[in-house]
Chain A
Amino acid sequence: MQTVFSIAVDALAYGMVLFVISIGLSVTMGLMRVVNLAHGAFAMIGGYIASYAARDLGLGYAAAVIAAVVATIIIAIPLERFLYRRIYGAPELTQVLMTIGITFCVIGIANYAMGPTLKTIPLAGALQGSADLGFRTIPVHRLFVILCGLAVALALWFAIERTSFGVKLRASVDDAAMAAALGVRTEIIYAVSFAVAVGLAAFGGVVGAELLPVEPYYALRYMVTFLVVVSVGGAGSIPGALIACLLLGAIDTTGRYLMPEFGEFFFYLAVIAIICVFPRGLAGRVK
């Protein structure tokens, strides 16, 4: 019972971290049709900046999170303007080549600037220790991560379903050319969504640093996981991504707890099974 409970909490927290990081990828992929393998690199940059701000500059945890998100967006905007904008609509292979190249550069620079060691982000005092639920205790940090995931999901749902920006965004996802013809400034929509996606990636990278430790090969190690989650959920769908993250997080965590010697075998087996049954993802639409 204790095992089941701790697996459930860890799985939920892991799934939420995956969700916060990869939802941005899902939205940009649905919107701009870019296979962005460099998304994990932005999460890593966020983690590094937060670690630098909290440990070397002595800022508090909340300030470090905000600094990480803002600084990562500032780094990402010129990348979007000068590199990504050239590969919108290019063949998939070209996009893969370009974004792998960006990932390699980021890894190399991070390795040079921050060193090859693992970086920790000191937690705020309130997030350390464990919370008593009456019948069980769980680490407060896990609880915090789960709440962050829920908050991001709700905020995104509200922004996309209830605001005028969301209406324009959905119109551009469905048919960019038609939306542009109706007066939607699609390039602004693209830039804003890209910035939000990168900001969320950085946020997830910082908040999830306890579960996905920040080191130079972070970008390469989890690149595949984020891509898999988006593909299983169906690019561009928030509920799909949420379900996919929770499902795959549960499968991966359970596999690690109960059969650690099999590594990620069951994770990838599940991925193949799901994609064979739902070739467009769990919430993918028929085009």
Chain B
Amino acid sequence: MALVMNSENERLQHQRRFSGDLIGITAIVAIGAIGYFVFPDNLALLTRMITIALLVLSLDLVTGYCGVATLGHAALFGSGAYAAGILSAHYGINDPLLMMLAGIAAGAIAGLLSGAIILRAHGLPQLVLSIALIHLFHEFANKASSWTGGSDGLSGIAPDPIFGLFEFDLYGQTAFFFGMTLLLVVFVLLRFLVRSPFGMLCRGIRQDPLRIRAMGGSPMAALIRMYVISGAVAGVGGALNAISTQVVGLDSLSFTQSAEALVMLVLGGTGSLFGALSGTVIFMLFEDYVSAANPFHWLTMVGALLIAVVLFAPKGLFGTAAAFVRRRKEARA
């Protein structure tokens, strides 16, 4: 009897997860389509949003799922961007997919490096290590100006048409659809990842690393692996940024970029892929709107928004909304 109920439950849960996936994908496509039809002249903003969303998703993997506090995640993003850009600008390899692969590889390597350093400490020292790391990356890219263009930025990136068919046009149509496709693929893969036994292990480490070790798991190895995966995801975002804007600036490796990514993640809600996505979209729309409406006060407004979120929606906007919906459902049941 119990067995039957278990399998029944499992089937239900499975169905619910699957419908969750489906709703998620539909929501992303729908929001993308709305954006496409509402801002047809501003596809560059939408593409930028997608690249940052990939960065925030990647940050969510280490911060939300593993509990690693970092203010240096743009190091992974920037490495991907520079790798893709250097491949095109210095080696003349202009195939977008190869550039993407280079970005993924460079992001993963940067992830391995940062993970090996950042994971040595906990709490405040960990935060400071990540800050020091992003500054080192930044100074290094600035110094190696023959490769990276230094503070002038890396230009001369000219991606070929995708599959030789879709050329990158002036209006950013191709870049937008390329970005949407990448985002969907990454999203689906990450949904699988965070539900896999490995994803569960990472959540367990966040909650109680000592207990995981007592059960025979190795928190350090798992976290480093997650860092590498996160680096690959950030690398996708970085490479997409290099391909779509055809220039890579030092700001993609900056502390400000890292801090903004963290703000977006916490704003949306950590530990959930939807939280990462919604935080990015809301923050960037808000920033775009406010900085256009009132360029003198936009920083004050952003600050006030952050304080308001901490006071009234401590789990992030998506996290608080999800909790509210769950409470409503339970009340009805």
B303 touches which one: A94, A104, A232 (CB < 8 A)? A104
- Residues of A near B227 (CB, < 8 A) are none
Docked Cα-Cα span, A241 to B270, in Å, equals: 33
Q: Which residues in A have their C-beta under 8 angstroms from that of B304?
A: 101, 105
Question: What is the CA–CA distance of A104 and B255 in the complex, to the nearest angstrom?
Answer: 15
Interface pick from B76-84, B103-111, B122-130: B122-130
Segment touching B, from A130-138, A167-175, A276-284? A276-284
Residues of B within 8 A of A35 (CB): 124, 127
A226 CB, min distance to chain B CBs, angstroms: 11
The answer to whether A272 and B132 touch across the interface, beta carbons within 8 angstroms, is yes
B300 beta carbon closer than 8 Å to chain A: yes
Select A261's contact among B120, B129, B135, B143, beta carbons within 8 Å.
B143
Given contact pairs A97-B267, A104-B300, A268 touches B122 in the complex (Cβ within 8 A): no
User: Are A269 and B136 in touch, CB under 8 angstroms?
Assistant: yes
Tell me if B305 and A268 are in contact (CB < 8 A): no
**Residues 90-124 of B at the A interface (beta carbon under 8 Å):** 117, 120-124
If A108-B300, A262-B139, A272-B133 touch, whether A92 touches B128 (CB-CB below 8 Å) is no
A101: nearest residue on chain B (CB-CB)?
B306
Q: Let me know if B310 and A105 touch, CB within 8 A.
A: no
A163 within 8 A of B: no
Q: Are B140 and A265 in contact (CB under 8 A)?
A: yes
Rounded to whole angstroms, the CA-CA distance of A279 and B124 in the bound complex is 10
| Contacting residue for B300 out of A90, A109, A261, A276, CB 8 A | A109
Contact pick for B125, options A94, A97, A281, CB 8 Å: A281
Q: How far is the CB of A154 from chain B (nearest CB, A)?
A: 27
Q: For the complex, what is the distance from the CA of A111 to the CA of B302, rounded to whole Å?
A: 14
The size bracket of the interface on B is 35 or more
Q: Choose one: A96, A108, A264; the contact of B135 (CB below 8 Å).
A: A264
B189 touches A (CB below 8 Å) = no
CA distance A231 to B303 in the complex (A): 25
Interface mask (B259-286 → A, CB under 8 Å = 1, otherwise 0): 1001100110010000000000000000
Whether the Cβ atoms of A111 and B296 lie closer than 8 Å is: yes
Measured between beta carbons, the chain B residues less than 8 angstroms from A280 are: 125
Look across to chain A and name the residue whose beta carbon is closest to the beta carbon of B259: A100
Q: Give the chain A neighbours of B314 by CB distance below 8 A.
A: 90, 94
Query: Quick check: is B51 within 8 A (CB to CB) of the other chain?
Result: no
Q: With a CB–CB cut-off of 8 A, which chain B residues contact A279?
A: 120-122, 125
Give the one of A231, A276, A279 with max B CB within 10 A: A231
Chain A residues positioned under 8 Å from B255 (CB to CB)? 224
Assuming A92-B69, A92-B123, A263-B139, is B131 touching A97 (CB within 8 A)? no
* Residue among B125, B131, B303 making CB contact with A101, cutoff 8 Å: B303
Using Cβ atoms and an 8 Å threshold, which residues of chain A touch B125?
231, 275, 279-281
**Chain B residue contacts of A281, Cβ below 8 A:** 125
Q: In this assembly, does B14 line the interface, its C-beta being within 8 Å of a C-beta of chain A? A: no
Question: Are A276 and B120 touching (Cβ within 8 A)?
Answer: yes
Please report the C-alpha to C-alpha distance between residue A268 and residue B72 in the assembled complex, in whole angstroms. Answer: 13
Interface membership of A86, Cβ < 8 A: yes
Q: Is the CB of B122 within 8 A of A107?
A: no
Q: Which of A104, A269, A271 contacts B128 (CB 8 A)?
A: A271
Q: B309 at the A/B interface (Cβ < 8 Å)? A: yes
CB interface residues, B 280-326, toward A, < 8 Å: 296-307, 309-311, 314
Interface of B is mostly: helix
Answer yes or no: B63 CB below 8 A from chain A CBs: yes
User: Is the CB of B142 closer than 8 A to any CB of chain A?
Assistant: yes
Q: Judge whether A16 is part of the interface by a CB distance below 8 angstroms.
A: no
From residue B133, how far is it (CB to closest CB) to chain A in Å?
7
**Complex: how many Å from CA A21 to CA B309?**
29
Indicate if the CB atoms of B121 and A275 lie closer than 8 Å: yes
B79 to chain A, nearest CB (A): 17
Q: How far is the CB of B103 from chain A (nearest CB, A)?
A: 25
Query: Chain A nearest CB: distance from B125 CB in Å?
Result: 5
**Interface status of A29 (Cβ within 8 A of chain B):** yes
**With a CB–CB cut-off of 8 A, which chain A residues contact B267?**
97
Is A238 among interface residues, defined by CB-CB distance under 8 A? no
Chain A: which residue is nearest B123 at the CB level?
A92
Is A188 on the interface with B (CB-CB < 8 A)?
no
Task: Report if A94-B307 is in contact (Cβ < 8 Å); known contacts: A35-B124, A112-B297, A272-B136.
Answer: no
Contact of A263 with B142 in the complex, beta carbons under 8 Å: yes
Distance (whole angstroms) from the CB of A35 to the closest CB of chain B: 6
Are the CB atoms of A104 and B302 closer together than 8 Å? yes
Are B262 and A96 within 8 A (Cβ)? yes
Are A104 and B306 touching (Cβ within 8 A)? yes
Which residues of A from 50 to 109 have beta carbons under 8 Å from B? 83, 86-87, 90, 92-94, 96-98, 100-109
CB distance from A102 to the nearest CB of B (A): 7
Nearest CB in chain B: distance from A103 CB, A: 7
Assess A108 versus B69: contact at CB under 8 Å? Given A92-B127, A232-B128, A262-B143: no
A108 to B304 alpha-carbon distance, docked (Å): 10
Residues in A whose Cβ lies below 8 Å from that of B124: 29, 35, 92, 227, 230-231, 235
Quick one: given A111-B296, A227-B127, are A276 and B143 in contact (CB under 8 Å)? no
Top 4 A-B pairs, shortest CB-CB distance: A101-B306, A104-B303, A108-B300, A105-B303
Q: Give the interface of A toward B (CB within 8 A).
A: 29, 35, 83, 86-87, 90, 92-94, 96-98, 100-109, 111-112, 224, 227-228, 230-232, 235, 261-265, 268-269, 271-272, 275-276, 279-281
Task: Identify 11 new A-B residue pairs, CB closer than 8 A, beyond the known A262-B143, A275-B132.
Answer: A92-B69, A97-B306, A98-B310, A100-B259, A100-B303, A108-B303, A111-B296, A227-B128, A262-B139, A263-B142, A265-B136
